[in-house]
Amino acid sequence: MRQVGHEESRKISYFQVDVNRLMTPAALFSDLQEAAINHSDFLGYSVEYLTEKQTGWAVINWHLEVDRMPKLGETITVQTWCEKCRRMQAIRCFHVLDEKKKL
C-alpha cells in the first residue's frame, strides 16, 4: 500500500444505507469527501484559511473501484493522501478498509 496521509474510522449509520442495509454511493462519496476535508484542515488549509486567501478546492472527477459496499453497523477506515500535485490540480487517492483491514 501507499503511504497514508490521513486516516479515520467511522461506523456506518442507518441514514447512510439503502433498503438492503448497504451503504449508498452518495454516502460513500460524502465520507470520502469528509476525510479529504479533515486531511486538508489538519495540514492547515482549513475553510477559514482558504476563505482568507479567497481560494478553495473542488472535486471535478471521481474514479472508484468498488468490490463491495459497507453494511449497516460496519466500521470502515478511510485512508486518503494526495499524489501528483501540479499547479492548480492534485490527485487525491483513497483506500477504504473494512473491520478486518481488508481493502
10-33 tens-digit pLDDT: 999 999 999 999 999 999 999 999
Cα–Cα distance, 77 to 4 (Å, whole number) = 12
CA of residue 45 relative to chain centroid, distance = 16
Task: Tell me the pTM.
Answer: 0.88
Cα–Cα distance, 1 to 18 (Å, whole number) = 30
Cα–Cα distance, 98 to 19 (Å, whole number) = 21
In sequence order, the 6+-apart residues with CB closer than 8 A to the CB of 6 are 35, 38, 39, 42, 79, 80, 81
| pLDDT cut 70: percent of the chain above it | 96
